[in-house]
């Protein structure tokens, strides 16, 4: 009996290729061969700018592929050339990150903003049209409002209030519908947790695509990925990350990532080569370390957040709590939530009774939770969107999106939930 269980087990293991396993099971090993590095169990940091070719012919072949002059032959791999193009730490990290979203490929950047701006620059040329969801991250908002118009890109927006038909009407009314190139989404929206339907937007992209133009859908998945949401499965072409957040997860690095289908990733990687904004071997190494605990960190963070949100909801000094775990089944957002997310995440926004003075009093009294921007890290962080991350948002838009003076945003970490609740309790008391 015991023997048969054991032999079954080994058969299962043999039948399961590494690619078929859950990402968390292979984050310690995937894409790295110890025998190429003196048997070291962990990848060394490859602090080298350049790599020696075996022959001149090999060097020529590598450059042809790297510059996109020809496709790879069967079984041909892009070898190591120069660390702006590729580096072992960068490649191992990209291969591992791609697994979470079941993407063909991934590109890692030196910041979330460089991932976002590189995608926008690749897909938007003078005269093109960008459709984007609002609100977006402050840096993204700035790039769209203050940089893209200077190179002649037209930008129009929608938010969770708009229906599919209303969005289509907006595209047609812009006068640039034949130049629509990119639909850029951020969902859940920061800081309000409003949801955008990715599948609906990918239908709109298909409707405006024709033989000469493919409308690409890109989703900033920083808030929910790469664990609780997989936009590629809802029809997106590219998924973007500030890897500074959950992926890095320890508030000790800045990085970004883009994952997606092979043909789109080829374009993104070629532009990255020439903008030169890839992450360094050191940063990649730190992220490889972070990925080993990504799932247990995020699991604990969302468990804690559910308890904290429940506490906030019943507190007499709290007016409203915006948390995906508190959505009611009859709300308009609920079907989108069920379709796109496997957990409610660890980002909570809530309003305290009163205004800025009451919000500031709460923030100043926190002891365990740090008063800082950023999110997705092991430690819990709290901030005041109206005067901090979203200070640059137009006052009318602020009102429309509910970024009020009494709104507080909290990112929940891996601490003990009881201690977090105790800290919030004492900070809300007189
Ligand atoms: C932080 C953040 C960014 C920008 O990323 P950086 O790593 O700071 O450049 C983009 N989008 C969202 C949703 C973010 O939270």
The model's pLDDT over 302-336, given as tens digits with 9 standing for 90+, comes to 999 999 999 999 999 999 999 999 999 999 999 99
- Residue 430 confidence (pLDDT): 78
| Residue 314, CA distances (Å) to 29, 33, 318, 321, 430 in order | 45, 53, 8, 10, 17
The model's pLDDT over 112-157, given as tens digits with 9 standing for 90+, comes to 999 999 999 999 999 999 999 998 998 999 999 999 999 999 999 9
Residue 427: band (very low, low, confident or very high) from pLDDT cuts 50, 70, 90: very high
The answer on pLDDT for 104 being more than 50 is yes
- Residue 18 confidence (pLDDT): 61
Whether a cis peptide bond, with omega within 30° of 0, leads into 4 is no
Cα gap 361→353, rounded to integer Å: 12
Cα gap 95→102, rounded to integer Å: 10
Q: How far is the CA of 254 from the centre of ligand 1 (A)?
A: 9
Q: Does domain 294-428 have CATH number 3.90.1150.10?
A: yes
Q: Which segments of 151-293 does DSSP mark as H helices, in order?
A: 164-173, 198-208, 262-275, 281-292
**Residue 116 CA, closest ligand 1 atom number:** 10
Q: Residue whose CA is closest, atom 7 of ligand 1?
A: 112
- Residue 1 confidence (pLDDT): 40
Pocket test for ligand 1, best of 110, 244, 257, 258 (most atoms within 8 A of CB): 244
Return the percentage of the chain with pLDDT > 90, whole number: 85
- Residue 231 confidence (pLDDT): 98
Cα gap 228→295, rounded to integer Å: 10
The answer on pLDDT for 6 being more than 50 is no
What mean pLDDT is predicted for residues 23-51? 95
Return the percentage of the chain with pLDDT > 70, whole number: 96
The answer on pLDDT for 26 being more than 90 is yes
Q: How far is the CA of 280 from the centre of ligand 1 (A)?
A: 18
Q: Are 305 and 376 in contact (CB under 8 A)?
A: no
- Residue 17 confidence (pLDDT): 64
Q: For strand 129-133 and strand 154-158, is the pairing parallel, antiparallel, or unpaired?
A: parallel
The model's pLDDT over 225-256, given as tens digits with 9 standing for 90+, comes to 899 999 999 999 999 999 999 999 999 999 99
Cα gap 139→388, rounded to integer Å: 12
Q: Which residue has the higher pLDDT, 392 or 164?
A: 164
Whether a cis peptide bond, with omega within 30° of 0, leads into 292 is no
Q: Residue whose CA is closest, atom 2 of ligand 1?
A: 242
- Residue 394 confidence (pLDDT): 86
Q: Are 81 and 51 in contact (CB under 8 A)?
A: yes
What mean pLDDT is predicted for residues 358-379? 97
What mean pLDDT is predicted for residues 395-414? 94
CATH topology identical between 87-291 and 294-428: no
Whole-angstrom Cα Rg for the chain: 23
Residue 19: band (very low, low, confident or very high) from pLDDT cuts 50, 70, 90: low
- Residue 77 confidence (pLDDT): 77
The answer on pLDDT for 20 being more than 90 is no
Cα gap 71→76, rounded to integer Å: 9
Q: How far is the CA of 112 from the centre of ligand 1 (A)?
A: 5
Buried b (16+ CB within 10 A) or exposed e, 162-172: beeeebbeebe
Residue 364, CB-side half-sphere exposure with 13 Å CA sphere: 7
The answer on pLDDT for 4 being more than 70 is no
Max avg pLDDT among 6-20, 71-85, 383-397 = 383-397
Buried b (16+ CB within 10 A) or exposed e, 366-399: bebbbeeebbbbbbbbbbbbbeebbeebeeeebe
DSSP 111-179: SHHHHHHHHHHHH--TT-EEEEESS--HHHHHIIIIIGGGGT-EEEEE-TT--HHHHHHHHHHTT-GGG
The model's pLDDT over 167-208, given as tens digits with 9 standing for 90+, comes to 999 999 999 999 999 999 999 998 889 999 999 999 999 999
In CATH, the number for domain 87-291 is 3.40.640.10
- Residue 5 confidence (pLDDT): 46
Cα gap 384→407, rounded to integer Å: 7
The answer on pLDDT for 12 being more than 90 is no
The answer on pLDDT for 403 being more than 60 is yes
Domain regions of the chain by residue span: 87-291, 294-428
Ligand 1, residues at Cβ distance < 6 Å: 111-113, 137, 139-140, 186, 190, 220, 222-223, 242, 244-245, 254, 256, 375
């Amino acid at each position: 009996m015991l023997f048969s269980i054991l032999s079954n087990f080994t058969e299962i293991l043999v039948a399961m290729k590494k690619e078929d396993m859950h990402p968390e099971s292979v984050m310690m090993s995937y894409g790295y061969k110890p025998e190429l590095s003196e048997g070291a169990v962990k990848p060394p940091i490859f602090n080298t700018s350049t790599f020696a070719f075996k022959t001149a012919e090999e060097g020529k072949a590598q450059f042809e592929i790297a510059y996109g002059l020809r496709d790879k032959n069967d079984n041909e791999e892009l070898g190591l050339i120069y660390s702006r193009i590729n580096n072992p730490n960068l490649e191992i990290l990209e291969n591992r990150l791609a697994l979470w979203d079941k993407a063909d490929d991934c590109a890692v950047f030196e910041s979330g903003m460089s991932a976002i701006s590189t995608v926008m620059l690749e897909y938007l040329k003078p005269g093109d049209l960008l459709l984007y969801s609002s609100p977006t991250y402050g840096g993204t908002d700035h790039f769209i409002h203050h940089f893209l118009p200077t190179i002649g890109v037209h930008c129009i927006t929608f938010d969770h209030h708009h229906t599919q038909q209303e969005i289509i009407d907006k595209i047609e009314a812009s006068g640039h519908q034949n130049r629509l190139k990119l639909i850029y989404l951020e969902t859940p929206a920061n800081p309000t947790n409003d949801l955008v339907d990715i599948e609906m937007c990918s239908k709109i992209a298909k409707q405006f695509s024709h033989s000469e133009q493919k409308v690409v859908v890109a989703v900033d998945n920083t808030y929910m990925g790469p664990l609780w949401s997989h936009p590629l499965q809802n029809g997106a072409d590219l998924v973007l990350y500030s890897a500074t957040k959950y992926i890095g997860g320890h508030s000790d690095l800045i990085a970004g990532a883009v994952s997606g289908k092979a043909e789109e990733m080829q374009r993104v990687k070629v532009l990255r080569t020439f903008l030169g904004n890839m992450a360094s071997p050191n940063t990649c190494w730190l992220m490889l370390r972070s990925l080993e605990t990504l799932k247990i960190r995020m699991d604990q963070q969302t468990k804690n957040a559910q308890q904290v949100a429940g506490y906030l909801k019943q507190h007499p000094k709290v007016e409203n709590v915006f948390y995906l775990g508190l959505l009611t089944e009859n709300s308009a957002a609920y079907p989108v939530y069920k379709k796109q997310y496997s957990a409610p995440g660890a980002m909570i926004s809530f309003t305290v009774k009163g205004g800025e003075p009451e919000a500031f009093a709460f923030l100043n009294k926190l002891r365990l939770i740090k008063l800082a921007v950023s999110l997705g890290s092991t430690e819990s962080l709290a901030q005041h969107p109206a005067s901090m991350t979203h200070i640059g948002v137009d006052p009318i838009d602020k009102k429309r999106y509910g970024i009020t003076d009494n709104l507080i945003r909290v990112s929940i970490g891996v601490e003990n939930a009881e201690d977090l609740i105790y800290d919030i309790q004492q900070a809300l008391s007189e």
